[in-house]
Amino acid sequence: MNNTIQDLFGSLREYIEHHQSTKSNMMTVYANIDPSVRDNQRERPAWMIELKNQFDQLSDAQKREAEEAVGSALTWEFIEERTLEAFKEHEAKGKSAMILTDFVDGIMVDLPLPVDNKVYFGLPQLSHLMSQLHRYGKYLVVLFSETEYRIISAKLNTLGSEEIIESGMEVGVSLRPGGKKSRTQASERRELDSEARLYKHAASEISAYFLENSEFDRIIFGGNLKIANQVKNALHHSVSEKLVTIEPIAFNAENKEIERIVQAIASEYEAVRDVTLIQELVTRRNVCGRTAFGREEVIEALNSGQAQRVYLPYPIVAEKFNQILVESMANNVDIEIIHGEAAERLISLGGVGATLYYLV
């Protein structure tokens, strides 16, 4: 999939923000358009038949409201036909796609995994989308040897959709100058200075690569551990903060093995992080009261502009939390999806939480 998560959420936020007046009367359509599915290879694909049945279940009042929103002589039949045509013409980059529209304009999103073919009318239905696109993050993996470093990107989805890409290799960069030559104290000092410069150069290139590719969330170093630690110490501070760990990953490890290692590291890292986030929510509540727990408190905080970040348990229950997702998007509030043990604790605290601004 070409879109980064940040780009996608940015587009969704912008769309909902610019359609505040109509956000309660939108149509959300999910379609399982995967062309590799046999039933989708027919002249009238399975997803189209199922969506047509879904459209038939909308009430006459909902269809009239859609026609009025268009504000022209266009009929519901045209709206329905145009929606199906948009999916049919779309060059899928995933297994499925979603359309969100207020019947005047809309936005289409590719999804990595299959969905049920569904039509929703009212508030944007975002819980299915968030459940698919929420992920551990995109990891930049850098493996060092004495002569070069190898760069790999690994995108991990919580539902098991992984993608790993060999991004490049910096070859011929000697990170261990001197070799086996006999050395005097002066030559050793020169070589140490040269090593330091090379470590700094490698750190500078890796920092620039990370900062220029905004879709990366975390970094893992591996390969030669001594070199990895030296480069770590020379990283830009904003990049160093994103370094999760340095691990003894073999420089020539196969991509499948790297994927397995990164998945394990990400799972443990995010589990610890989620527990820490919920504990911080509780501590803030006890110390300064700048936390909201429960659906009513969080919605009130969103409506009053007090919410800074919202925390929801995974899997997301649409009936309970879709409104909170929409209002968070509309108000440009950060969203954290919490898993496992931390999610269970969040449920016991009211099911949803939010940190509040100090000055509002």
How would CATH label the architecture of 135-253?
Answer: 2-Layer Sandwich (3.30)
Answer whether residue 94 shows pLDDT above 90: no
Q: What is the pLDDT of residue 27?
A: 94
Count the Cβ atoms, other than its own, within 10 Å of residue 234.
18
Q: How far apart are CA 31 and CA 51, in angstroms?
A: 7
pLDDT of the residue at 129? 87
Alpha helix stretches (DSSP H) within 222-335:
225-234, 237-240, 255-287, 295-303, 318-330
Residue 157 pLDDT exceeds 80: no
Model pTM?
0.78
Amino acid 9: pLDDT:
76
Residue type at position 324: I
Considering the chain, what is the average pLDDT of its residues?
A: 85
Q: Quick check: 28 pLDDT over 70? A: yes
Return the pLDDT at 2. 37
pLDDT of res. 167: 45
Q: In the chain, where are the structural domains located?
A: 5-125, 135-253, 270-356
Q: How confident is the model at residue 227 (pLDDT cuts 50, 70, 90)?
A: very high
On the question of pLDDT at 164 being above 60, the answer is no
The yes-or-no verdict on residue 248 having pLDDT over 60 is yes
At 192, is the pLDDT very low, low, confident or very high (cuts 50, 70, 90)?
A: very low
Identify any residues that bridge with 101 across adjacent strands, giving them in sequence order: 27, 106
CA-to-CA dists, residue 221 to 151, 233, 252, 265, angstroms: 10, 12, 14, 12
Q: Does the structural domain 270-356 have CATH classification 3.30.70.120?
A: no
